[in-house]
Amino acid sequence: MPKKAAKSKPAAPVLRPMKGVVTITRQVHFNSAHRLWNPTKSQAWNEKQFGLCTNPHWHGHNYVLEVSLRGQPDPDTGCIMDLGDLKDLLNTHVVDKCDHRNLNDQVDFLRGIIPSTENLVIAFWNELQPHIPAGRLYCVKLYETPRNFAEYHGPDVS
């Protein structure tokens, strides 16, 4: 009877880290009320500038927040950041503080600003930036409605 050939161990897989800059995005939702109002101006001025959005009894939005990070995928994971971890970060630093709140007077980091979509994306960037552990914060985009949104790419982008 012929001898069986010895089984050789399969070669260890060789991982090929991919080089390139990638953008990842996580989307979260929250609902908030606000009033566009400049307290240094008259009621007439505010009504002319903001129309119905300056209603003294507030108005609300179902906001959609998209936050994007940019960076090289980690060679060990293939990821810039775990998207579940990014979701947790967004919830902790923005959603949990803003959801079902009045943005004018119930959110500490928004005190003293007019909560326009433009100002909100800058404020959200400032809240999130110190907590991004991997990659770099690339874009904060906020949809006030499906047709109205603002995006911010940071203070160093002109």
Active-site hit among 47, 66, 144, 151 = 144
Active-site hit among 59, 100, 118, 131 = 100
144 is a catalytic site residue:
yes
98 is a catalytic site residue:
no
User: What's the chain's length in residues?
Assistant: 158
Structure tokens at 119: 């100002």
Short-list 85, 81, 73, 84, CA closest to 15: 73
Angle subtended at Cα 70 by Cα 18 and Cα 131, rounded to the nearest 5 degrees: 125
**Which amino acid is located at 97 in the chain?**
K
Give the catalytic positions in this structure. Answer: 53, 100, 144
